Structure 1
Amino acid sequence: MNKIRLTMAQALLRFLDNQYVSVDGKETKFVQGIMGIFGHGNVTGLGEAIERSPGELTFIQGKNEQGMVHAATAYAKQRNRLQIYACTSSIGPGALNMVTAAATATVNRIPVLLLPGDNFASRQPDPVLQQLEVVSDYTVSAVDAFKPVSKFWDRIVRPEQLMQAASQAMRVLTDPAETGAVTLALPQDVQAEAYDYPVAFFEKKVHFIDRRLPTPESLQRAVDLIAKKRKPLIIAGGGVLYSSASKELAEFAEAFGIPVAETQAGKSSLPWNHPLNVGAVGVTGTLAANRLAAEADLIIGIGTRYSDFTTSSKSAFRSEDVQFVNLNVSSFDSFKLDGVAVTCDAQAGLQGLRYALAGLSYHSGYGDNEVAELKQQWDAEVDRLYAAEHEDGLAQTRALGVINETLGDSDIIVCAAGSLPGDLHRVWRSVEPKTYHMEYGFSCMGYEVSGAFGAALAEPEKNVYAILGDGSYLMLHSELVTSIQEGRKFTVLLLDNHGYQCIHNLQRGHGSDGFGNEFRFRTEKAGGLKGQYMPIDFSAHARSMGAATYKATTAEELREALLLAKDEKGTTLIEIPVVPGTNTSGYESWWNVGVPEVSVSDKVVEAHKEMKQNIDAVKLI
C-alpha cells in the first residue's frame, strides 16, 4: 500500500481539501477554507500546515472566535449547506468562545467543522497555559464543553485516529437531517506528530446527498387525511429552501388552493405577492396567517421543526379537529405534534404528494375570495406600518419600509435577535428565495454582522445587509474588520433604539414597569439605570475600524444614505436612530414566557392569571 508521511494536521488539511458533495448530479467542492485565530494550542501544528501546505483551502483570519464561527455558519446556510468553512482556535478561552456559535449552528441544522486545540495528549508539560484542570477527571478539558452542542464530537489522541474521525465528521456534515456543529478536538502535541498515512485516504471523495423519497405508504396516509379536510394550511419551513423546493411548493399550493404561511427559516420560499402567500405565522405572524391557522382543520408542515414561535406556544391551532401532516427530512421533526409523518426531502415529498392528490381531484374548501381578502387586508396593514410617522422621530416600521422599498429584489438581508426579527417576519416583502437570511433557531445576538460577512462570502455578486439593533451590534461586531480585510463588502443597518427594547417590551407586557434593559446612565437617586439615554456614536465607532458611515434621522435621509451606500466599495454602516417601542406586536398571537404567580405587584399577578387562561385554552398536542 502506498503511504505518505505527514503530521496529523497536514493530513487533516489534505483530506479536507479533497471532499466533494453531489446533489442532483451537480458536484461541488465541500470545504472552501479555514477561518482561524491562532494561539499556542494550534499555531505550530495546524497553523504550520495551513501556512506551508494549504492546498486549495483559503485561510481567513478571524477577530473573535464566536464571530468567525457565525460567519462560517452563515456561509453554509446561504450556500444551502453544500459548502463550508472549518474554524480553528487555541485551547481555553479561544475554544470556549466558539461554543455559543456551535450551538447556533446545531440548533439551525447548519454544518460547521470546529477544530479547537486541546490539552497535550502526552500530559508531560501539564498544566500548560490556559489548560482547564478537572481534578476529579483528568481526561476532561475545556473542549469537552462542545459535546452537548455538537452533532459529532471526537478527540484525536493518536495521529492514525484521524482517518476514522475525519470520515465520521464528513458523514454528519453532509447529512441533510442530522447535521450541525462537528467538533474534532486536536491535542497540541498530536497535531505535530507524524504518521505514514495511506495515499487512498487523500483521494478525491464525493459524498452523494440523495433526495430522500417518501415511502408509498406514508404518502397514502397523508393523502387519506388531506382528502378529508376542507381548510388546510401549509407552513413552509427552512427545509423548503434547503431542498430548493420553492417551485414545487408553489405548484402544490396552486394545484389544490392551499394558502401558505412561512416560518422565519422558510420566509422567501414564495414571493410575498404570490396570491396564496399569507405571510408569517405564529408569535410574529401576520393577521392573515394567524386567523387561517386558528381555523385550519389541517396543517401541512413542510421542512419545519415547529418551534414555539411558529406554533404560538401551541395556541395557534384552535380548531377542535385540527390534525397535522409533516413532510420533513428529519424523522424527529416529521413525528412532531402527533402528525402523519412523511419523512422525506421537501422537493421529493411535494412532488409525490401532488401526484397522489391529483388523482382524487382534491381542492380545498376555502371561499372564492376568502384567502385573497385576508391577504389584501394584511397588505394594507403593512402599507400603513411602512408609512407610519412618529412625532419623536423615525418609527422602526417606517425605517424598514424605506429599506424594503429601496433595496433590490435580489439583495440579501441578515438578522437574528431583538424586535427586528418580529417586524421583518411580519412586514418584510421578499421576492426571491434565499434573500431573507434569519437566524432564529437560536436567536443569537451578535450573529448579524458576522453572518452578513459569511453571506457576502457566499454570494459576493449580491448586496448583503445586516439589519440589527444597537444591543446586538455592541455584543459582537468584530468581523466587520474581517470583511474590510477580505474585501467582501456588506452594509450594516444599525437601528438604534437605546437598549434591549425587545425584552423591555416583553417585561412591560407582563406586569413589569421595565427594568435593566435600556442603555441609560446610572442615577442612584432615581433608583438605578434611569438617567438619560447614553449618547453612543456608532458611526464614529465603525469609521474608526475602516468602514464608510452615514447617519439617517429621517426617511428621506435614510433613502439617500442607502443609495449612497450602494456605491461604496467597502463595508458600510448606516446609523438609524429610531423611536423605542415603534415595532409591531400582537395580531392575535400569544407566547408562553412564564409569569410569576406571586409578586408584590398587582400587575404581575394579573398577568399571571391571564397566562393561566391562555395555557388552559391551549389544545394539548
Structure 2
Amino acid sequence: MATVRLTMAQALIRFLDAQYVSVDGEETKFVRGVMAIFGHGNVTGIGEALERSPGQLVTIQGKNEQGMVHAATAYAKQKNRRQIFACTTSIGPGALNMVTAAATATVNRIPVLLLPGDNFASRQPDPVLQQLEVAADYTVSANDPFKAVSKYWDRIVRPEQLMTAALQAMRVLTDPAETGAVTLALPQDVQAEAYDYPESFFVKRIHYIDRRPPAPEAVDRAAALLQGKQRPLVIAGGGVLYASAVQELRAFAEAFGIPVAETQAGKSSLPWDHPLNVGAIGVTGTLAANTLAKEADVIIGVGTRYSDFTTSSKSAFAHPGVQFVNINVNAPDAAKWGGAALTGDAKLGLKALMDKLAATNYRSAYEEGEIASLKRRWDAETDRLFALEHEQGLAQTRALGVLQESIAPGAVIVCAAGSLPGDLHRLWRPSEPKTYHMEYGFSCMGYEVSGAFGAALAEPEREVYAFVGDGSYLMLHSELLTSLQEGTKITIVLFDNHGYQCIHNLQREHGSDGFGNEFRYREPSTGRLSGGYMPIDFAAHARSLGAKAYKAATAEELRHALEQARLEKGTTLIEVSVVPGTGTSGYESWWNVGVPEVSVSEKVTEAHRARQERLRSARTI
C-alpha cells in the first residue's frame, strides 16, 4: 500500500482539500478554505501546513475568533450548506472565543469545522501556556466546553487517529439532519508529529447528499389527516431554502389554496407579494399570519423547528381541534407537537404530499377574498409604518422604509439581534430567495458584521448589507477590517438608538421603569446609569479602520448616504440616528418570559398576573 509521510496537520489540510459534495448531480468543492488566527498552539502545526502545502484552500486572517466563525457560518448558510470554511485557533482564550459561535452554528443547523489547538498530548511541558489544570481530570482542556455545542467532537492524540476522526467529521458536516459545529481538538505537539498515511486517504472523496423521501405510509397518514381540514396554514422554515424547495412550496400552496407564513429562517421562501404569502408568523409576526394561525385547524410545518418565537410561546394555534403535519429531514423536529411526521427532504416531502392530495381533489375552504383581504390590511399597515414620521427624529420603521425603497431586490440583508429582527420579520419585503439572511436561532449579538462578510464571500456578485444596532456593533465588529483586507465589500447600516432598546422595551412591558439597558453616563446623585446619552461617533470609528462612512439623521440623508455607499468600492458604514422605541410591536402574539411573582413594585406583580392569565390559553405540549 502506497503511503506518504506527513505531519498530522499537513495530512488534515491535504484531506480537507480533497473533499467534495454532490447534490442533485451538482458537484461542489466542500471546503473553500480556512479562517485562522494563529497562536503558539497552531501556528507551527496547522499554520505551517497552510503556508507550505495549502493545495487549493484559501487562508483568511480573522480578527476575532468568534467573529471569524460567524463569518464561516454565514458563508455556509448562504451557500445552502454545500460549502464551508474551517476555522483554526490556538489553545486557551482563542479556542474558547469560538464557543459562542459554535453554538450559533449548531442551533441553526449550519456546518462549520473548528480546529482549535490543544494541550501537549505528551504532557511535556506541563503545564503549557494557556493550559487549564483541572486537578481531578488532567484530560480536560479549554476545548472540552465545545462538547456541549458540537454535533461531533474529537481530540486527536495520535496522528493516525486523524483518519477516523476526519471521516466522522465529514459524515456529520454533510448530513442535512445532523449538521452543525464539528470540533477536532488538535494537541500542538501531535499537529507536528509525522505518520505514514496511506495515499488512499487523500484521494478525491465525494459525499453524496441524497434527498431522503418520506415513507409512503407517512405520506398516506398525513394526507388522511388533512382530509376534512378546511383552514390549513403552511409554516415555511429554513429547511425550505436549504432544500431548494421554493418552487415546490409555491406549487403546493397554489394547488390547494393554502396560505403560507414564514419563520425568520424561512423568510423569502415566497415573494412577499405572492397572493398566498401572509408574512411572518409568531411573536414577530404579521397580523395576517397570526390571525390565520389562531383559526387554523391544521398546521403544515415545512423545515421548521417550531421555536417559541414561531409558536408565540405555544399560544399561536388556538383552534381546539388543531393538528400538525411536519415535513422535516430532522426526525426530532418532525415529531414535534405530536404531528404526523414526514421525515425527509422538504422538496420530496412537499411533492409527495401534493401528489397524494391532488388525487383526492383536496382544497382548502377559505372564503373567497379572505386571504387577500387580510394581506391587503397588512400591506397597508406596513406602508403606514414605513412612512411614519416622528417629531423627535427618524423613526426606526421610517428608516427601514427608506432602505426598502433604496436597496436592489437582489441584494442580501443580514441581521441577528435586537429590535431590528422583529421589524424586519414583520415588514421587510423580499422578492427573491436567499436575500433575507437572519440569524435568529440563537439571536447572537455581534453576528451581523461578520455574517455580512461571510455572505459576501459566498455571493460576491450580490450587494450585501449588515443591519446592526449600536449594541451589537460594539460587541463585535472586527471582521469589518477583514472585509477591507479581502477586498470584499459590505455596507453596514448601523442603527444608533443609544443602547439595548429591544430589552429596554421588554423590561418596561413587564413592570420595570427601565434599568441598565441604555448607553447613559452614571448619575453621581443617584449612582445609576441615568445621565445623558453617551455620544459615540460610529462613523469616525469605521473611518479609523479604513472604511468609508456616512451619517444620516433624516430620511433624505439616509437615501443620499445609500446612493453614495453604492458607488463606493469598499466596505462602507452608514450611521443612522433613530428615535429609541420607534420599532414595531406585537400583532396578536405573546412571548412567555418569567416575571417575578413577588416584588416591591405593583407594576411587576400586575405583569405577573397578566402572564399567568396568558399561560392558561397556551398549550403545554
Q: Which TM-score applies when normalising by structure 1?
A: 1.00
Q: What SS does structure 2 have at the residue aligned with 1:617?
A: coil
User: Is 1:587 aligned with 2:551?
Assistant: no
Q: Match of 2:283?
A: 283
Does 1:165 find its partner at 2:165? yes
Cross-structure match for 1:188: 188
Structure 2 spans left out of the alignment, 5+ residues: none
Aligned to 1:329: 329
Does 1:76 find its partner at 2:76?
Answer: yes
What is the letter of the counterpart of residue 502 of structure 2? C
Deviations 1:44-96 (A, max 9, x none): 01100000000000000000000000000000000000000000000000000
Shift of 1:227: 1.2
Once the two structures are TM-superposed, the CA of residue 228 in structure 1 deviates from its matched residue by: 1.9
Aligned mates of 2:118, 2:318 — CA distance in 1: 51
* Distance in 1, Cα, partners of 2:175 & 2:585: 37
Once the two structures are superposed, the pairs formed by residues 344-423 of structure 1 within 5 Å of their partners are: 344-423=344-423
- 2:289 partner letter: A
RMSD after superposition: 0.5
The equivalent of 1:58 in structure 2 is 58
Structural mapping, 1:29-178, within 5 Å: 29-178=29-178
- Which amino acid letter does the alignment assign opposite residue 130 of structure 1? Q
Q: Which residue of 2 aligns with 1:490?
A: 490
Structure 2 distance, partners of 1:59, 1:538, is 29
Structure 2 CA distance for aligned equivalents of residues 594 and 114 of structure 1: 35
- How many residues align? The count is 621
How many angstroms apart in 1 are the aligned matches of 2:520 and 2:504? 13
| Equivalent AA in structure 2 for residue 452 of structure 1 | A
Residue 604 (structure 1) aligns with: 604
User: How many Å separate the matches in 2 of 1:484 and 1:610?
Assistant: 50
Q: Report the counterpart of residue 24 of structure 2 in structure 1.
A: 24
Question: What amino acid sits opposite 1:601 in the alignment?
Answer: S
Deviations 1:321-370 (A, max 9, x none): 00000000000100001111000100010111111100111100100000
Deviation at 1:563, TM superposition (A): 1.0
**1:432, CA displacement in angstroms?**
0.2
Other structure's SS at 1:311 match: coil
SS of match in other structure, 1:474: helix
Q: How much has 1:583 moved relative to structure 2?
A: 0.4
Write out per-residue CA displacement over residues 122-168 of structure 1, whole angstroms, 9 at most, x where no aligned residue: 00101111111101100000000100000000000000000000000
Q: d(CA) in 1 for partners of 2:294 and 2:514?
A: 32
Alignment of 1:495-514 (within 5 A): 495-514=495-514
In 2, Cα distance between equivalents of 1:264 and 1:527: 40
CA distance in 2, matches of 1:611, 1:524: 36
Q: Provide the rounded CA distance (Å) in 2 between the counterparts of 1:115 and 1:102.
A: 11
Task: Note the 1:233-252 alignment, pairs <5 A.
Answer: 233-252=233-252
CA distance in 1, matches of 2:619, 2:19: 47
**Alpha-carbon displacement from aligned partner over 1:292-321 (angstroms, at most 9, x marks no partner):** 000000000000000000000000000000
Residue 619 (structure 1) shift = 2.6
**How many angstroms apart in 1 are the aligned matches of 2:414 and 2:90?**
29
Partner of 2:209: 209
In structure 1, C-alpha distance between the alignment counterparts of 2:41 and 2:555, rounded to whole Å: 50
- Residue in structure 2 matched with residue 517 of structure 1 by the alignment: 517
Per the alignment, residue 232 of structure 2 pairs with 232
Which residue of structure 1 aligns with residue 261 of structure 2? 261
Q: Counterparts of 2:195 and 2:5 in 1: how far apart (Å)?
A: 5
Q: CA deviation digits over 1:565-611, x for unaligned, max 9? A: 01100000000000000000111100001100000000000000000
Match of 2:560 in 1: 560
Tell me the distance in 2 between the aligned counterparts of 1:352 and 1:323: 19
Give 1:527 deviation, angstroms.
4.0
Cα deviation code 1:221-248 (max 9, x no counterpart) = 0000111200000000000000011111
Q: Hey, what's the Cα distance between the residues in 2 that align with 1:177 and 1:540?
A: 45
* CA distance in structure 2 between the aligned counterparts of 1:596 and 1:320, rounded to whole angstroms: 30
The correspondence of residues 283-302 of structure 1 with structure 2, limited to 5 A, is 283-302=283-302
* Divergent runs of 4+, >2 A: none
Aligned to 1:571: 571
Q: Distance in 1 between matches of 2:537 and 2:474?
A: 12
Between the aligned partners of 1:429 and 1:124, the Cα distance in structure 2 is: 59
CA distance in 1 between counterparts of 2:363 and 2:370 reads: 14
Q: Cα distance, 1:562 vs. partner?
A: 0.6
Q: Helix, strand or coil for the counterpart of 2:71?
A: helix
Question: What residue identity is the alignment partner of 1:506?
Answer: L
SS for the counterpart of 2:310 is helix
Cross-structure match for 1:303: 303
Deviations, residues 415-438 of structure 1 (Å, cap 9, x unaligned): 000000000000000000000000
The correspondence of residues 509-548 of structure 1 with structure 2, limited to 5 A, is: 509-548=509-548
CA deviation map 1:92-128 (0-9, x unaligned): 0000000000000000000000000000000010111
Q: Find the aligned partners of 1:332 and 1:563 in 2 and give their Cα distance.
A: 47
User: What is the SS of the residue equivalent to 2:530?
Assistant: coil
Q: For 1:172-221, what per-residue CA distance to the aligned partner results, in whole angstroms no more than 9, with x for missing partners?
A: 00000100000000000000000000000000000000001011100000
Matches within 5 A, 1:422-441: 422-441=422-441
After superposition, the C-alpha distances for 1:261-282 in whole angstroms (9 at most, x for unaligned) are: 0000000000000000000000
Output the CA distance in 2 between the equivalents of 1:29 and 1:614: 50
> 1:524 Cα shift?
2.6
Structure 1 distance, partners of 2:343, 2:90, is 40
CA distance in 1, matches of 2:130, 2:498: 37
In structure 2, what is the equivalent of residue 549 of structure 1? 549
Deviation at 1:620, TM superposition (A): 2.8
Q: CA shift at 1:618, angstroms?
A: 1.0
* Secondary structure in structure 1 of the residue aligned to 2:576: strand
SS for the counterpart of 2:22 is strand
| Alignment correspondent of 2:474 | 474
1:452 and 1:156 map into 2 onto residues whose CA distance is 33
Name the structure 2 match of 1:3. 3
Identity of aligned residues (%): 75
30-39 vs 519-528, which moves further: 519-528
Q: 1 CA distance for matches of 2:301 and 2:142?
A: 39
- How far does residue 480 in structure 1 lie from its aligned partner after superposition? 0.2
- For 1:336 and 1:617, locate their aligned partners in 2 and report how far apart those are by CA, in whole Å: 19
Give the aligned residue type for 1:440.
Answer: Y
Could you give the per-residue CA deviations for residues 481-501 of structure 1, whole angstroms, max 9, x where no partner exists?
000000000000000000000
Tell me the SS of whatever aligns to 1:43. coil
Q: Distance in 2 between matches of 1:395 and 1:246?
A: 34
Structure 2 SS opposite 1:414: strand
Q: Distance in 2 between matches of 1:525 and 1:363?
A: 68
